[in-house]
Amino acid sequence: MPTPTSVSRAHLSQQVIRFAGVGVLSTALHLGLFAALVRGGAPSQLANGVALVIATVVNTGLNRAWTFGVSGRRNLVAHHGQALVIFAITYAATTAALAVLGAVAPGAGTLVQTFVVAVANVLSTAARFVAMRRWIFRTPAAGDDPTAAPGGRADRHDPAYTGGGVLEGPQGER
């Protein structure tokens, strides 16, 4: 029989893998939009901001449903609002990286700028995961009122959501 610790580790592993998958997708979206906007003539800082906001909204929606197993409309606006606070971490990292690049290599092309944004994005990923897991989609402790927690389970009404917040197959299938 699995121990609570082994179940907890397995749950965390599933979340990390799913978070990484969503991250790859949303990073590709961010970088693709960034490169397209820069090639279209937008200044790199503006292109970064626009692309990152769009990617953040998509990332939050996917992580909410797939990584953390939250469904329904309850706390939807709050979750996206909290994600925009976390967005500031990535925006600050990518903006600073572009500013440094602009000072060091003012004529850097789109490919180099996109690479710099990608590196800064990757470096901020761990902070985003911890913030999503511990703040936005926090699982209430035993005895907590789940309706009071920002990421409470009260809106996890779909029977497909089982296993403590990780989207799995219909109940009983794993």
pTM of the complete model? 0.71
pLDDT at 138 over 60: yes
The β-bridge partners of 167 are 161
**Mean of pLDDT over the chain:** 81
- The DSSP code for 141 is P
CA trace torsion 56, 61, 65, 70 (10° rounding): 100
pLDDT tens across 28-68, in order? 999 999 999 999 999 999 999 999 999 999 999 999 999 98
pLDDT at 8 over 80: no
- The DSSP code for 2 is -
Report in angstroms the alpha-carbon separations of 129 from 18, 89, 162: 11, 12, 21
Q: Any residues with CB less than 8 A from the CB of 39 and at least 6 apart, and which?
A: 110
SS3 content of the chain, % helix, strand, coil (to 5): 70, 0, 30
